Chain A
Amino acid sequence: QLQLQESGPGLVKPSETLSLTCTVSGGSISSSSYYWGWIRQPPGKGLEWIGSIYYSGSTYYNPSLKSRVTISVDTSKNQFSLKLSSVTAADMAVYYCARTLSHYYSYMDVWGKGTTVTVSS
């Protein structure tokens, strides 16, 4: 059974870079049918797509975050990662990673449990 697990610091200082990793287990990140994405949810608010990556390394970002986001993939470790630069309090959220099908249909069918990121000095 495919599982995703987010990891990374839970506390980031303002203006610094948030770095998270999603480890995929029970399946390969190199499947041609899926994207691998990051989604976040500020406290008490809705879901926001941050960006996604294909196993080949092609990346797609939310235009509202594009200037600050980098997503990368390491197929040898079955992991993909998120970097968000110049964080502010507005970046405080639960960050989820998710597998996304995008072949005829598109949906996020497997999610990590999420990791909470706090921005504070």
Chain B
Amino acid sequence: EIVLTQSPGTLSLSPGERATLSCRASQSVSSSYLAWYQQKPGQAPRLLIYGASSRATGIPDRFSGSGSGTDFTLTISRLEPEDFAVYYCQQYDSSPRWTFGQGTKVEIK
């Protein structure tokens, strides 16, 4: 089973700052199968990034994803007030099985 570990657990930043979120896998993950989601309180998760670096439909270009193998990063270039939320990475393996990281909360400093 591939385990995804996200860091930090909480990121305290101000609007306008840059956010860098990490997702580390216990084994190599195909970039095609790495996705990022945003979840706000009381809402379902929303797909942000798929294929490690492709933005989903309607996602602003301040969101970007990168990485390969076991290390992946979600970057928010300039935080907007609506970006304060919890972010999850997710991977798929050929079992097939889908697993999520434990999440990173981006909170207002």
Binding site for B on A (CB under 8 A): 35, 37, 46-49, 52, 60, 62-63, 96, 98, 100-102, 104-109, 111-114
Contacts and interface: CB of A to CB of B under 8 A. Distances in A.
Interface of B: 1, 32-33, 35, 37, 39, 43-47, 50-51, 54, 56, 88, 90, 92, 95-103
Contacts, number: 68
Interface of A is mostly: strand
Contacts of A47: 37, 39, 45, 88, 90, 100, 103
Given A105-B32, A105-B51, A52 B44 contact: no
A106 B100 contact: no
Contacts of A104: 32
Given A63-B1, A107-B90, A112 B44 contact: yes
A108 B39 CA distance: 13
A29 B60 CA distance: 29
13 contacts: A35-B96, A46-B101, A47-B100, A47-B103, A49-B98, A63-B1, A105-B54, A106-B32, A106-B50, A107-B56, A109-B50, A112-B44, A113-B43
